Amino acid sequence: MNTICRKFSGCLAVAVATLLPAISPATASEGVAPPSADDLAAAVRVAGQPDAIGLARSNFRQVDQLEPRRITMGDKGIPVYTLNPDFVRGIAGAPAGALSSIAVTATADTGQKATLQAMPDGPGKWVAASVFSGNDEETLSAGLKPGSVLLNEPQINGWYELESGGVVLLRASLPQSPVGEFIPLSEYQRQVQGRYADKLPGSDYQRDRGIGFTQQAVPPPGDSGFPVAIVAGLVAAGVGVVLVAVWRKRRLTPR
């Protein structure tokens, strides 16, 4: 098991490869269809299994240099959506977000928190795929309005509230719009098409081997603290851009 460090200081060129086959598209351009209650329950059950708890323990050990005596997994699954490449392309009816994972918070007995990502592994099946330090997903989703979902634009480390008819930026390392401002979906689509349309899979950017479109082993971070990594959490979106700084250090422990 290895650790991918998500620490970006200054400018780090990051791009992504292809849409993960496990990602499920949502059903309408105005919003997204949530996972079923059965899927949420299944993801939470997976998060409570010994191997998932072991994955969380590895993250606490590697990130916080601690060995918790006890880890408590949350009883709530948080659906997390990522920017849909078909929405970027402007395909009619394509939703802005595609379901990428269900997040479950892990809490060490010392108070540190991490987020386990449960990902679909076939109809009705979920697997503990990775663990991130911190509990951004839990914190940000707590403030969503009823009917809204949490949308991630990984290329800018951006988090949005996706609601009927538009998005509201909650936080981003490289904000492309003011935090808290409502952006109609048509305008958001225009923005992301301008940012990423020429970097999608099959583009000249990819054919010219633009940074990150070829999946490869992640090198360990150097002594300078500037790791050059293709972050697994960014792979899901299938588009690429330069990412400048992040809000805070997060580390990913993948399976």
3-state SS, one letter per residue, for 119-185: EECCCCCEEEEEEEECCHHHHHHCCCCCCCEEEEEHHHCEEEEEECCEEEEEECCCCCCCCCCEEEH
Confidence category of residue 137, pLDDT binned at 50, 70, 90 = very high
Mean pLDDT of the chain: 76
Q: How confident is the model at residue 255 (pLDDT cuts 50, 70, 90)?
A: confident
**Tell me: the pLDDT tens digits for 79-92?**
999 999 999 999 99
Predicted pLDDT at 215: 29
* Average confidence (pLDDT) over 47-57: 96
pLDDT value of residue 16: 30
Cα–Cα dist 158/139, whole Å: 14
Task: Specify the pLDDT at position 32.
Answer: 81
**Residue 15 · residue 212 · CB < 8 Å:** yes
Cα–Cα distance for residue pair 72/23, rounded to 1 Å:
27
Query: Is residue 33 very low, low, confident or very high in pLDDT (cuts 50, 70, 90)?
Result: confident
Range in 22-31, 65-74, 89-98, 177-186 with the lowest mean pLDDT: 22-31
Most confident of 40-49, 90-99, 215-224: 40-49
Residue-level pLDDT at 237 = 37
Q: Is the per-residue pLDDT at 238 higher than 70?
A: no
**Stretch 159-177: mean pLDDT, rounded?**
94
Is pLDDT above 50 for 247? no
Residue (of 67, 72, 75) closest to 53 by Cα position? 72
- Confidence category of residue 133, pLDDT binned at 50, 70, 90: very high
- What pLDDT score does 205 carry? 66
